[in-house]
Amino acid sequence: MRDRNIIKSIDAGSPLRHKARPGDALVSINGHRILDVLDYKFFAYDPRLEVVLRRPGGEEVCVHVRKSEGGDLGLDFESYLMDAPRSCANNCVFCFIDQLPKGMRPTLYFKDDDARLSFLLGNYITLTNLSPREIERIIALRVSPVNVSVHTTNPELRVRMLRNPRAGESIAVMRRLAEAGITMNCQIVCCPGLNDGAELQRTMEDLAEMFPAVHSVSVVPVGLTRFREGLYPLTPFTAEHAAGTIDLVTAFGDRCLEKLGSRVFFCGDELYLKAGRPLPPDEFYEEYTQLENGVGMLRLMETEFRSALKLGGEPDGRPFSIATGTSAAPFFRQLLELAEKEYGQIRGRVYPIENDFFGRSINVTGLVTGGDLIRQLQGRELGERLFISWNMLRRQEQDFLDDVTLEEASAALGLPVIPTEADGFALFDAMCGVLPRIPPPDRRESGEQYYRYNN
């Protein structure tokens, strides 16, 4: 059988630079056989290593390495994981990938559910395809934190929602991981009429019992595109329903704060926007653990933006525009008004982009496509620069979900389209004319960036 852990290249600063060669296979480290990237990262941590390599002709060589503790060995492999990624064994009733139109790039249709990617890249997993050996390895290697898509702790309901007969077993797996001291950050995709209300209350109570192993839980609304023909009937959140869910989660979080010292449970920003509710204050979000899930992102951005205003700047006076999803547009208008009030030289406009590609019920910034951006902004007063969020793009490749590139969008609109971080300081700098450096795009689809930016 062909080795899976073939070395593709060796970094210039690697302690193995003159001992290993591209084409070698990494066999073991300190006597531990290396089966995948998780073994590699874990067993390469120590400062002194005995590394066994297999040359292409089959000869095995043993080399000794000294490096800093935790320092990287600097090896790049033909496959980032050193084997195939674990695909999802579920058929979730709310799966966003099932709601994609045909004809998009093939990688968007791959559903990963891989514990290694959860630990290394922050991907969320359902735990339904873990073997007993993999559970033992997570515990033995102290793989932590693990990001878990829970949705419900009711075993029967979880089977129905994930449409996997093993889905109900995962709650017992979570309890075992909790007993072993493995930290878990969790998410609940809330679907009206399925796992909301009393079911959501039950799920929160069950997860709170696993604190502190369950460190944080985000509650986010289901996203429904216009491509749902033949799929499970789901209804979107109304403003009233969003408000009721916020009240339920906040009340339970208040109890957790009093009893456990942390509120543990947080609603995504999108629920507040749907409900027309103000965002909670900065201290509400504690450590901002769930930023990647859109929990507290806007509050942190406003806090940073107000700090940037106090620190001051020297605006260049050149007019600009900001394009964003329709739900966040009022928030960015508010920030722009604060800046214009403080600095008369700042002149900008905010343009909400309706999502015609996925359907107008999708109103988040990260799902704005290049085609919608171009069609809705051509001929508008955009000033000299257009700022968008990096969340609209695959970062390395610099293309939108519909494969329109950043360069194509700039050419079509006749001005620089500049992505900025979801950071209040970065946004204020951009308004002042202190522009971020945009590296050249790298559209080679391989390794870590494949898993980080395509799923």
Region 262-270: mean pLDDT is: 98
Region 282-287: mean pLDDT is: 96
DSSP code for 413: H
Tell me the residue ranges of DSSP E strands in 302-343: 320-325
Rounded Cα gap, residues 427 and 125, in angstroms = 32
CA angle 428–433–439, rounded 5-degree value: 95
Rounded Cα gap, residues 370 and 382, in angstroms = 16
Does residue 429 have a pLDDT over 80?
yes
Dihedral-angle region of residue 58 (phi above 0 means left; psi in -120 to 50 means alpha; beta otherwise): left
Q: What is the mean pLDDT of the chain?
A: 92
Does residue 448 have a pLDDT over 50?
no
CA torsion sign for 400, 406, 409, 412 is: negative
Closest CA to 236 of 203, 293, 193: 193
Per-residue confidence band for 396, with pLDDT thresholds at 50, 70 and 90: confident
Closest CA to 94 of 268, 246, 238, 220: 220
Does residue 108 have a pLDDT over 50?
yes
Q: 7-77 and 97-293: same fold?
A: no
Burial 42-71 (b: 16+ CB within 10 A, else e): bbbeeeebebbbbeeeeeeeeeebebeeeb
pLDDT of residue 444: 62
Longest CA–CA separation in the chain, Å: 72
Per-residue confidence band for 3, with pLDDT thresholds at 50, 70 and 90: low
The answer to whether 86 and 131 are in contact (CB under 8 A) is no
Region 208-212: mean pLDDT is: 98
For the domain 97-293, what is the CATH superfamily, name and number? pyruvate-formate lyase- activating enzyme (3.80.30.10)
Rounded Cα gap, residues 262 and 284, in angstroms = 10
The answer to whether 407 and 452 are in contact (CB under 8 A) is no
pLDDT of residue 10: 92
Rounded Cα gap, residues 213 and 195, in angstroms = 23
pLDDT of residue 51: 94
> How do residues 119-137 score in pLDDT, each as one tens digit?
777 889 999 988 898 899 8
Domain range summary for the chain, segments of one domain joined by +: 7-77, 97-293, 300-454
216 or 107, which is more confident: 216
Region 348-354: mean pLDDT is: 98
DSSP code for 4: S
39's CB contacts (< 8 A; 6+ apart) are 29, 32, 33
Rounded Cα gap, residues 76 and 9, in angstroms = 5
264 or 116, which is more confident: 264
86 or 241, which is more confident: 241
Rounded Cα gap, residues 67 and 301, in angstroms = 39
pLDDT of residue 80: 78
Region 1-18: mean pLDDT is: 84
pLDDT of residue 134: 87
Region 352-377: mean pLDDT is: 96
Rounded Cα gap, residues 154 and 246, in angstroms = 21
DSSP string, 59-95: -EEEEEEE--TT----EEESSTTSSPPPBP----TT-
**What is the number of alpha carbons within 13 Å of residue 198 lying toward its C-beta?**
1
Per-residue confidence band for 109, with pLDDT thresholds at 50, 70 and 90: confident
- Which of 98-107, 162-171, 371-380 has the least mean pLDDT? 98-107
71's CB contacts (< 8 A; 6+ apart) are 15, 47
Rounded Cα gap, residues 167 and 171, in angstroms = 8
- Which of 39-48, 85-94, 250-259, 444-453 has the least mean pLDDT? 444-453
**CATH number of the domain located at residue range(s) 7-77 in this protein:** 2.30.42.10
pLDDT of residue 131: 87
Among 100-104, 143-147, 399-403, name the most confident range. 399-403
Per-residue confidence band for 287, with pLDDT thresholds at 50, 70 and 90: very high
- Name the amino acid, one letter, at 26: L
193's CB contacts (< 8 A; 6+ apart) are 234, 235
Region 183-196: mean pLDDT is: 97
121 or 97, which is more confident: 97
pLDDT of residue 455: 41
pLDDT of residue 390: 96
Region 382-408: mean pLDDT is: 95
Both ends of the chain: CA-CA distance in Å? 29
> How do residues 70-95 score in pLDDT, each as one tens digit?
898 999 988 777 777 778 889 999 99
Indicate the class that CATH gives domain 300-454. Answer: alpha beta
Mind spelling out the 3-state secondary structure of 95-129? CCHHHCCCCCCHHHHCCECCHHHHHHHCCCECCCC
